[in-house]
């Protein structure tokens, strides 16, 4: 019954997502963000010719639909079109969001493939070119924000943002240190669950023996009394 | 002629709107057709529909956003996703109006491909052309003023034909479907995005109330033309329902036909292949 229920739940959730047109909402939002970012790019030497009319498909374990990115270049502009399905992809990457974060942290692509965390179908160069473009984007957020908010509020906002970032980084480091301390020193001293179970079992055994001994003594006392 | 009697909105809200009875709808013959709830001579429909679209062309996009709360953009996105379009494809966006689908197709087929934006109405075509040129989309788009019943293209020309919110305005839908079938390449596909019959009766009633009471008032307020939006609501009710349209596509020769209801069946996307 369990697998059937899981299948039914998956089917129902997929149908619901499709009915609410969530894939289309997600792709429209992504497309808007990506193209806004491209419009703000200051790196004029960035070339899109290698990925023109190429499609990169991402199949993420966390998403019930795929994300397909196609680049269209004209002499005037470059745009990325995001779709939730395609019949023609130059490169398809099957992975999860956590693995994508590992990729950002420069963990080797081949290492992740070997660990079965990443599956690439098609031309891997396309994926690398897409990644290179994403990393080469230069956006001056301060100038862009200042256009909308004004110079002084932008400066204050970024100052506040830097403070928060530093504070979060310090908290992160502290948490990391505490976890390290726990793993290296404290964890050795802490009783493990198997040890606790063994202790409980031994305690129960002793209690049983005491009970049986007590019963035997009672019996002997009764025998003596009868004699 | 296709039957439209399954499309009857069983709603008290639409009762005063004088939708033709089943007997009236089945009385469709060789020389008459429907213009909303009115039965008219076939020869008059083109000019009457043209009048509607000449009138609303300039406010068409604004009204679409208002009427559908922007959801028409998601329906069109769904159509693009379902089209399976590839770089180098030739696409015909029939009744393409202000070019929403053409814009996306143009970017997806690239320089090697081509998109033809066709519409019977010159005002809609002009608005579409101006909009797409303003977006910088010029390199692979052609504009053709054409009647869907007599497409002026060679046989086996297009990989994909789409008709979004246009088929219900065509006088002879069967003829248009046969004409589309003819211009599609073998292996090509037709996608029909059109208003349809909501699956749920409660939604149906709410939709009727909205269509006949709110929509014409919005049209009056924004486009200064309530009558055209009254026609819109009526023409949606007179359009064949999901199964009927699927049958019509099969009669025209399409294979592997299917449809997908969107927003509870308010709109349906029909798909069929030519092999």
Read out DSSP for B177-244? Answer: HHHHHHHEEEEEEEEEEEE---SSHHHHHHHHHIIIIIHHHHHHHHSS-HHHHHHHHHHHHHS--HHH
Which of A21, A24, A74 faces B139 most closely, judged by CB atoms? Answer: A74
The span from the CA of B110 to the CA of B139, in Å, is 9
Q: What CATH code is assigned to A2-139?
A: 3.30.1050.10
Best mutation target among B72, B73, B74, B269 (most A Cβ atoms within 10 Å) is B74
pLDDT along chain B (275 residues), means of 10: 34 40 49 70 70 68 81 93 93 92 94 93 89 88 93 95 92 94 96 91 87 83 77 82 94 95 92 95
Which is nearest to B151 in space by CA: B125, B185, B176? B176
Whether B29 maps to a domain, the answer reads no
Which of A24, A70, A88 faces B78 most closely, judged by CB atoms? Answer: A24
pLDDT computed for residue B26 by the predictor: 45
Dihedral (Cα; A24, A26, A31, A37), 10-degree rounding: 170
Quickly state the pLDDT bin for A111 (edges 50, 70, 90). confident
A52 backbone φψ class: left, alpha, beta (φ>0; ψ -120 to 50): beta
Chain A nearest C-alpha distance from B172 (Å): 31
Asked whether the beta carbons of residue A87 and residue B86 sit closer than 8 angstroms, the reply is yes
Token pair for B146: 């054409």
Domain ranges in chain A?
Answer: 2-139, 145-208
Which of B108, B110, B136 faces A76 most closely, judged by CB atoms? Answer: B136
Instruction: Provide the number of structural domains found in chain B.
Output: 1
Give me the helix-helix angle, A141-149 and A151-181, nearest 10°: 130
The span from the CA of A81 to the CA of A96, in Å, is 21
Token pair for B20: 């033709």
The span from the CA of B120 to the CA of B123, in Å, is 9
Whether B15 maps to a domain, the answer reads no
Computed over its alpha carbons, how large is the radius of gyration of chain B? Answer: 18
Asked whether the beta carbons of residue B87 and residue A88 sit closer than 8 angstroms, the reply is yes
- pLDDT, mean of residues A125-152: 82
Which of B77, B84, B87 faces A27 most closely, judged by CB atoms? Answer: B77
Which residues, in sequence order, are bridge partners of residue B141?
B115
Look at residue A122 and tell me whether its pLDDT is greater than 60.
yes
A184 Cβ contact partners less than 8 Å away, ≥ 6 residues apart: none
Whether B37 maps to a domain, the answer reads no
Query: In which domain, by residue range, is B97 found?
Result: 46-273
Q: How far is CA B232 from the centre of its chain?
A: 11
Which is nearest to B214 in space by CA: B66, B58, B12? B66
Which CATH number belongs to the domain containing residue B158 in this structure? 3.40.50.150
Across chain A, what does the average pLDDT equal?
A: 84
Under 8 Å between Cβ of B113 and B140: yes
Whether B8 maps to a domain, the answer reads no
pLDDT computed for residue B14 by the predictor: 34
Quickly state the pLDDT bin for A14 (edges 50, 70, 90). low
Comparing alpha-carbon positions, the chain A residue that sits nearest to B104 is A81
Whether B39 maps to a domain, the answer reads no
Give the burial string for A110-145 (b: 16+ CB within 10 Å, else e).
eebeeeebbebebeeebbebbeebeeeeeeeeeeeb
Whether B10 maps to a domain, the answer reads no
The span from the CA of A35 to the CA of B30, in Å, is 51
Which residues, in sequence order, are bridge partners of residue B18?
none
Q: What is the secondary structure of B34-75 as a DSSP string?
A: EETTEEEEHHHHHHHHHHHHHHHGGGHHHHHHHHHTTHHHHH
Q: What are phi and psi of B227, to 5 degrees?
A: -65, -40
pLDDT digits (tens, 9 = 90+) for A42-68: 877 788 888 888 999 999 888 888 999
Under 8 Å between Cβ of B76 and B101: yes
Whether B81 maps to a domain, the answer reads yes
The span from the CA of A176 to the CA of B267, in Å, is 53
Chain B nearest C-alpha distance from A195 (Å): 57
ipTM, interface predicted TM-score of the complex? 0.75
Whether B124 maps to a domain, the answer reads yes
Dihedral (Cα; A199, A202, A208, A212), 10-degree rounding: -140
Percent of chain A with pLDDT over 90: 25
């Amino acid at each position: 019954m369990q697998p059937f229920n899981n299948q039914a739940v998956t089917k129902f959730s997929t149908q619901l997502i499709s009915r609410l047109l969530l894939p289309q909402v997600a792709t429209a939002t992504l497309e808007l963000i990506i193209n806004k970012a491209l419009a703000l790019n200051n790196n004029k030497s960035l070339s899109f010719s290698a990925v023109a009319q190429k499609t990169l498909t991402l199949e993420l374990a966390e998403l019930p639909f795929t994300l397909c990115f196609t680049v269209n270049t004209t002499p005037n502009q470059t745009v990325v079109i995001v779709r939730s399905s395609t019949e023609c992809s130059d490169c398809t990457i099957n992975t999860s969001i956590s693995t994508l974060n590992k990729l950002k942290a420069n963990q080797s692509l081949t290492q992740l493939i070997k660990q079965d965390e990443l599956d690439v179908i098609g031309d891997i160069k396309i994926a690398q070119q897409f990644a290179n473009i994403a990393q080469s984007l230069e956006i001056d957020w301060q100038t862009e924000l200042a256009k909308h908010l004004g110079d002084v509020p932008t400066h204050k906002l970024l100052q506040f943002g830097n403070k928060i970032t530093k504070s979060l980084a310090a908290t992160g480091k502290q948490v990391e240190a505490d976890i390290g301390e726990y793993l290296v020193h404290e964890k050795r001293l802490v009783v493990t669950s198997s040890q606790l179970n063994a202790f409980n079992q031994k305690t129960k055994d002793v209690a049983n023996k005491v009970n049986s001994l007590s019963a035997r003594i009672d019996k002997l006392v009764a025998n003596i009394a009868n004699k | 002629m296709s039957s439209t009697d399954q499309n009857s909105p069983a709603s008290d809200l639409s009762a005063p709107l004088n939708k033709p009875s089943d007997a009236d709808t089945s009385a469709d013959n060789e020389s008459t057709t429907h213009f909303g709830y009115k039965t008219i001579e076939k020869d008059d429909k083109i000019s009457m529909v043209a009048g509607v679209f000449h009138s609303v062309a300039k406010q068409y996009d604004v009204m679409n956003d208002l009427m559908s709360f922007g959801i028409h953009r998601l329906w069109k996105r769904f159509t693009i996703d379902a089209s399976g379009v590839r770089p180098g494809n030739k696409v015909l966006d029939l009744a393409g109006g202000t070019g929403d689908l053409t814009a996306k197709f143009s970017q997806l087929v690239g320089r090697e491909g081509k998109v033809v934006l066709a519409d019977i109405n010159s005002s809609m075509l002009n608005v579409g052309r101006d909009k797409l040129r303003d977006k910088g989309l010029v390199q692979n788009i052609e504009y053709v003023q054409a009647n869907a019943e007599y497409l002026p293209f060679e046989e086996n020309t297009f990989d994909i034909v789409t008709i979004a919110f246009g088929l219900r305005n065509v006088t002879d839908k069967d003829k248009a479907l046969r004409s589309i079938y003819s211009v599609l390449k073998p292996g090509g596909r037709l996608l029909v995005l059109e208003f349809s019959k909501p699956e749920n009766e409660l939604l149906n009633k709410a939709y009727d109330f909205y269509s006949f009471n709110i929509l014409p008032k919005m049209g009056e307020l924004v486009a200064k033309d309530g009558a055209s939006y009254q026609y819109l609501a009526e023409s949606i009710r007179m359009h064949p329902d999901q199964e009927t349209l699927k049958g019509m596509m099969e009669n025209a020769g399409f294979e592997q036909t299917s449809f997908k209801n969107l927003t509870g069946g308010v709109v349906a996307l029909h798909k069929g292949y030519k092999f």
